[in-house]
Amino acid sequence: QVQLVESGGGLVQAGGSLRLSCAASGRTFSSDAMGWFRQVPGNEREFVAAVRWSGGPIYYADSVKGRFTISRDNAKNTVYLQMNSLKPEDTAVYYCTANLGGSMWSFRSWNYWGQGTQVTVSS
């Protein structure tokens, strides 16, 4: 059974940093895209960042470009999201995802999801 487990969320002041981790089990994703989405109540899941495969193309939402960095460690079957210069508008539940089957910008294209981790940025 495939599982994605996020960790690293929490409460941080504006301007601060957090590092999210997502450990996958049940299969390896070394040849698959992995990524991060976020969601606030009442909204659809929003694309944050993705990496096609280890060492492959990386994509960011415009709202996080220059502040967030996605990386992956295939030996650990883990993807990370380093978030710097956090803003209150970054507050959301952050979801790890893997195995892309369409447009990476749409949450409907991804096949595996973690349970989510809350990130709250205070002003």
Question: Predicted confidence band at 31 (pLDDT cuts at 50, 70, 90)?
Answer: confident
Distances (CA, A) of 37 to 56, 95, 115, 123: 19, 5, 12, 22
100 forms beta bridges with: 110
pLDDT digits (tens, 9 = 90+) for 42-93: 999 999 999 987 777 899 999 999 999 999 998 999 999 999 999 999 999 9
Cα–Cα dist 85/66, whole Å: 9
Q: Residue 8 has what pLDDT?
A: 97
* 105 pLDDT above the threshold of 90: yes
Model pLDDT, residue 56: 79
pLDDT at residue 30 in the model: 84
Residue 55: the pLDDT is: 72
Residue 88's SS3 state is helix
- Per-residue pLDDT of 95-104, as tens digits, reads 999 998 999 9
Q: For residue 75, how far is the Cα from the chain centroid?
A: 18
Residues 6+ apart with CB under 8 A from 85: 15, 17, 67
User: What pLDDT is recorded for position 53?
Assistant: 77
Distances (CA, A) of 11 to 5, 45, 72, 119: 19, 20, 24, 6
End-to-end CA distance of the chain: 40
| pLDDT for the residue 18 | 98
Per-residue model confidence as pLDDT tens digits over 108-120: 999 999 999 999 9
pLDDT at 38: 98
